Amino acid sequence: MKLPYSLPRAFTEQAATSDDWASYLRRLPRLADALTDEWDLAYDGPPAYGRSGLVVPVLTRDSREAVLKIGFPHEDGAGESVALQLWGGRGAVELWAADPRRSALLLERLSPEDLTGVDVLEACAEVGELYGLIHRPPTPRLTDLRTLAARWLDGVRALPRDAVPGRFVEQALSAAPRLFADEPAAVVHGDLHYENVLRGVRRRWLVIDPKGFAGDPAYELAPMLWNRWAELGDDPGTGIRDRFFALLDASGLDERRCRDWVVVRAVVNVAWEHAAAAGHPLSDAQREWLTRSITTAKAMQDV
């Protein structure tokens, strides 16, 4: 069946960002057609997109509403299908079919409503409960988060001295051996924030779009702190800590490990933005991310 819709223009504009994106977008319509034929699907609405790929509404052979997700191949997305298989729909969207070689997933269709429209502390309580559902025992098929984090911290060590307050760098580097000492305890989502939780039918809220790592559950909190940033107002430190403790209260996770991971992730963010600038002046968007990250690390000093 031929895709009867045009790809979203804002999505196709990413062809200009790299040769890999241009190649992915060129083959995407044919790939969608091939997958719908192989999995006996019918197109059921115009496609949408996210940061990591295209999502097309489809109907299965027995008329179940589903979505076909065709991801842009990237290292961080390699664990998505494995994580969804391990979760088995427990607190997360159900995976009905997967073709990892082509970065393709067939998923149950959820409502587009996400947690951005819910009171932020209520949303934190919901996500804290979801942690308990998705933090299942991991598998060796998932990338060990410690391997990635060790590589990221090499970038932190290379930061210019004026990029971030030195005490935050020291705190992150001194916490790392303690955080890395234990074997991976759970399947970690890796980027669980308000837009990655959608309203479902089987359960009120369900997780989508995992990175899928094997690691420490305490790693999860940071994206809930630095998203919905404008709502923090003139006293971001207090608001960040309120979110932090709402997540802890609902999840029962270890406070010190969660705090340390937030600082590590905030400092790694700074390193990534400086690496992305590659010696050029930072853009306004990059400076805004630096502000969020450093402010988040600073808020943890009073935890």
Instruction: Give the Cβ contact number of residue 64 at 10 Å.
Output: 12
d(CA 56, CA 90): 23
| Whether 191 is catalytic | yes
d(CA 58, CA 22): 25
d(CA 19, CA 26): 11
- Exactly one of 114, 191, 209, 216 is catalytic; name it: 191
Place of tokens 């930061």: 159
Measuring CA to CA, which residue among 18, 33, 200, 185 is closest to residue 108?
Answer: 200
List Cβ neighbours of 158 (8 Å cut-off, separation of 6 or more): 271
Measuring CA to CA, which residue among 207, 186, 71 is closest to residue 126?
Answer: 207
| Segment holding 258, helix H or strand E | helix 255-277
Which residues are designated catalytic? Answer: 191
